[in-house]
Structure 1
Amino acid sequence: MSVMKTKHFKIRYIVLSLLGAILLAAFIFMHFGGFSTGKNANPEEFAKYAQSVEDITIPENTRIIALGEATHGNVEFQQLKLDVFKQMVNKYNMRAFALEGDFGGCEQVNRYIHGGKGTAQAAAAAIGFAIYRTDEMAKLISYMRQYNDNAAEGDDLRFYGFDMQRYAHSFHFLLKFCKELGVDTKNLKKLMDGEEWSSEYDNSARMEIITQVKTELEGKKNAAQAVHFADMLLQYCELQVGTNSSTLRDKLMAENVEWILQQEQQLGYERIFVSGHNSHVAKWGSFDSMGKLLSNKTDNGYYVIGTDFYKTNCNLPSSSLGKRTNQIFYSHSPLAKTAKMAGLEICWLNFRDIPHDSELAELILQYTYMGTLGERYSWLMRLIPPSYRMFQPPAVLYDSMIFVTNANPIHIITE
């Protein structure tokens, strides 16, 4: 081999080696969201304070206990809804489960758990979001129905929704209540064409007709629920024209949770259980989240359990792919990583139990990354890890947290 050929070979080797190193580094970065899975604390110290979900306790003055979920697309976070709610029912006499789901659709669930026709799967589908068409949600609904089958009068469980992103079920329930209460429904019926809004009416016209119906209902006895269905439709319309829809939605959800609490208190129950995404239930943040608003209004009566994962294989919808796919992400939370190193698959960490002079006390008050995935996947998330992480102090957002080491994808029932 000539000197010139040897030189060219070495150059090509160096270039290919550099290119290979760059590609390997890019793969590691995009897979882990960085060049490692982040820092960790002392696993032995963490294990001293970590407890099981069955050990969860809340302060006596709590009126609203909220369970957050770091993702909508993992089995474990859906299972935790049932696991934690059972603790609240048995230990704290809670009878209300409130979900980040359509109010009208959740009323369908409520009627099912009180002996209505159909199946738990069909009831879950009525909530209106694909993420709830799962075996885990059906098990929660089945538990509530079985509990009610054996409950004494007035001791039954109730299922509420506090979201307003759907309108069909709320409209049909409002129509039914109007007929029962003797309120004219002629104009109201014109708003719907089958299961969709009639194209003849815009939001302002719809809101005017619904407001008229609401005013008539307010003059009737025992019309509180009917009035709330009207409010749900008005909220939906308001959300369509709001300039900052995310902030407005959280404000409206907070109002709806307050309404649910009032209904339960009228029935003699002082506490309710709420389940929603971490970003909604957190009691502090850069915007007025539902949790922040409720925390400010309830005078320390709002208690929130956040969640996080070390690694998630999450079921997410992709607009570019036109389907849902399972995607792997790492949260980079030092707390979640320490839970993994301590050998804890699922554990609860109560921040109030941690001594002020410990390493963990310093860590829970520092700004740190935590996993937070919504209902969206884009390949750009691989290039921009902060897009699926929250950078906040854990103990400022939450009163305690549940950590899941390896979170598995939900399976959405399509039939």
Structure 2
Amino acid sequence: MSNAIEGWLAAHARTLDTLDPGAPHEDLEPLREVLRDVRIVGLGESTHGTREFFRLKHRVLKFLVRDMGCTALAMEAGESAARAVDAYVCHGVGDPVRLITRLGFWTWRTEEMLDIVEWMRAHNRGVPADRRVRFVGIDPQLAADSVAAVGSYLGQVAPERAADMAELEVLARARPGTGPDPEQRLLHRAQAVAGFLDGNRAKFAELTSPEAVAEAVEHARILCRAADLVTRSLDPGSPQDNVFGVRDRYMAEAVVRLVAGGGDGGTEGPVALWAHNGHIAKGVYGNGVPALGSHLRARFGDGYYALGLLFGKGSFRARSAGRTQGPGVRHRIGTSLRCVEGRLAAAVPGNYYVDLRAADPSSEGARWLREPSAQRSFGAAVPRLTYRFHIAPLTPAEDYDGLAFVSRSTCSRPLPDLDPEKP
């Protein structure tokens, strides 16, 4: 590392005094100016199983809510099951542990996520309804709650149409790319159910309530997105239209609806977006797949801020490739000078964050921000032996607007497994 690069990082880094979500947040105050005109704050992570990432995001979320007027957390989690978590944080309905368990992803079944959900509930108890912070899922896959909700509602208002749900029951458990559907029968069936409910809003509102029919319509729309995603191709040769490209596009559209209002209620303050670094980045990932963040950057410009989260060394939780059950196991990794993490660890000790938008592109110290590099990238599952070599291409200032660096990673802490059949 040149002295200029090290000097630039040392000058621009802002030390994180602690990762404790309950601590004062004076060290986050510089973010107030950085995020002043931002509508969406993307909070990334290079692993889904790092305890420190959960805790840092919890701290940042509290800061955004209390000091910046944030009223929504948009999660890379099933939008179907997340509606029940939202009911809990807004109204106290249900058991939070069981609701988190139903989110569809083992990565969120952690003590750290429970702490976040419980804090959101505690915050919402003491504020007016228009200042409550919502919990919103943005991923349309694994729509079990929507299958149950739409089936139950049709049973009340139009039992003769309940049979329409038989074909859609596969959406409760099917993963994206399950199988091609050239005639799009599954999607057409879901669209027919959604159209039927939407077209009879006034009639069904009299039989139940406007709120009940609106909820059923929204669940039916989730089924439409799930049906489309499930039957998309895994072919990497069509990055715009394969499973990966369509999933990120749908997640971006969910965030846009949340910000703009749409049919699901809007939010006045900034939205906190929680997803993997690959999703929140402003460019492409994998085989040229446009990332969720690239759609948001195109829509909101500088109103979208992508904060990538990286770590130096330590351990994290992930499933071994091929395993479909269990909370993941511990994986260890040391500092690598082949990746940008090694540069960040060497430049500034401890935990910190840096605003990449503050870089003077003409300075020697900031030149590395616009040069191709590499970063670690671990998903929910990793190979048993070769995971240490998992890296992804990176051009720091093109992919992110800021970086948060944690010097040591430890494993997230799983909740009790209430439903071992859940993936």
Structure 1 match to 2:305? 303
Contact 2:339 2:376 in 1 (8 A): no
Is 1:239–2:243 an aligned residue pair?
A: no
Deviation at 1:179, TM superposition (A): 6.4
Structure 1 match to 2:345? 340
- How many Å separate the matches in 2 of 1:158 and 1:396? 30
Contact 2:8 2:366 in 1 (8 A): no
Deviation at 1:169, TM superposition (A): 1.1
User: What percentage of aligned pairs have identical amino acids?
Assistant: 23
More off after superposition, 232-241 vs 156-165? 232-241
Structure 1 match to 2:192? 212
1:262 maps to a residue whose letter is A
CA distances 1:161-198 after superposition (whole Å, capped 9, x unpaired): 00022110122233455567779652344346699579
- How many Å separate the matches in 2 of 1:280 and 1:40? 32
- Structure-to-structure mapping, 1:223-262, within 5 angstroms: 225-243=215-233, 244-262=242-260
- Structure-to-structure mapping, 1:309-348, within 5 angstroms: 309-319=311-321, 324-329=328-333, 330=335, 332=337, 335-342=340-347, 344-348=349-353
Structure 2 match to 1:277? 276
Is 1:150–2:155 an aligned residue pair?
A: no
Gaps of 5+ in 2: 17-26, 175-179, 203-209, 234-241, 418-423
More off after superposition, 125-134 vs 326-335? 326-335
Cα distance change, pair 249–62 in 1 and its aligned pair in 2 (3 A): same
- How many Å separate the matches in 2 of 1:197 and 1:42? 49
SS in 2 for 1:298: helix
Deviation at 1:123, TM superposition (A): 2.4
Is 1:361–2:371 an aligned residue pair?
A: no
SS in 1 for 2:290: coil
Matching residue within 372, 377, 380 for 2:382: 377
- How many Å separate the matches in 1 of 2:194 and 2:411? 42
- How many Å separate the matches in 1 of 2:41 and 2:272? 5
Structure 2 match to 1:95? 71
SS in 1 for 2:309: strand
Contact 1:109 1:124 in 2 (8 A): yes
SS in 1 for 2:77: strand
Q: Considering only aligned residues, what root-mean-square deviation do their CA atoms show, in Å? A: 3.1
Deviation at 1:66, TM superposition (A): 0.9
2:223 maps to a residue whose letter is L
What is the TM-score normalised by the length of structure 2? Answer: 0.78
Contact 2:143 2:171 in 1 (8 A): no
- How many Å separate the matches in 2 of 1:409 and 1:40? 34
SS in 1 for 2:318: strand
- How many Å separate the matches in 2 of 1:190 and 1:108? 23
SS in 1 for 2:252: helix
Contact 1:107 1:160 in 2 (8 A): yes
Deviation at 1:153, TM superposition (A): 3.0
1:47 maps to a residue whose letter is A
1:228 maps to a residue whose letter is E
Matching residue within 54, 57, 60 for 2:28: 54
More off after superposition, 228-237 vs 189-198? 189-198
Aligned length: 373
- How many Å separate the matches in 2 of 1:321 and 1:186? 36
Deviation at 1:214, TM superposition (A): 1.0
More off after superposition, 291-300 vs 327-336? 327-336
- How many Å separate the matches in 2 of 1:398 and 1:294? 13
SS in 1 for 2:119: helix
- Structure-to-structure mapping, 1:36-75, within 5 angstroms: 43=6, 45-51=8-14, 52=16, 54-55=28-29, 56-57=31-32, 58-75=34-51
Structure 1 match to 2:413? 411
CA distances 1:55-107 after superposition (whole Å, capped 9, x unpaired): 32334432221111111011111222211111211222110111000011111
Contact 2:71 2:269 in 1 (8 A): no
- Structure-to-structure mapping, 1:11-30, within 5 angstroms: none
- Structure-to-structure mapping, 1:130-209, within 5 angstroms: 130-176=106-152, 185-191=161-167, 204-209=184-189
SS in 2 for 1:114: helix
- How many Å separate the matches in 2 of 1:45 and 1:88? 27
- How many Å separate the matches in 2 of 1:413 and 1:162? 22
Contact 1:109 1:126 in 2 (8 A): no
Cα distance change, pair 225–270 in 1 and its aligned pair in 2 (3 A): farther
Contact 1:120 1:139 in 2 (8 A): no
Larger radius of gyration, structure 1 or 2?
Answer: 1
Contact 1:332 1:369 in 2 (8 A): no
- How many Å separate the matches in 1 of 2:123 and 2:279? 29
More off after superposition, 99-108 vs 295-304? 295-304
Contact 2:112 2:413 in 1 (8 A): no
- How many Å separate the matches in 1 of 2:119 and 2:91? 13
2:341 maps to a residue whose letter is A
2:402 maps to a residue whose letter is S
Structure 2 match to 1:20? none
CA distances 1:225-271 after superposition (whole Å, capped 9, x unpaired): 54332222122222222122111211111112212222389546153
Cα distance change, pair 70–39 in 1 and its aligned pair in 2 (3 A): farther
Contact 1:99 1:274 in 2 (8 A): yes
- How many Å separate the matches in 1 of 2:159 and 2:255? 27
Structure 1 match to 2:80? 104
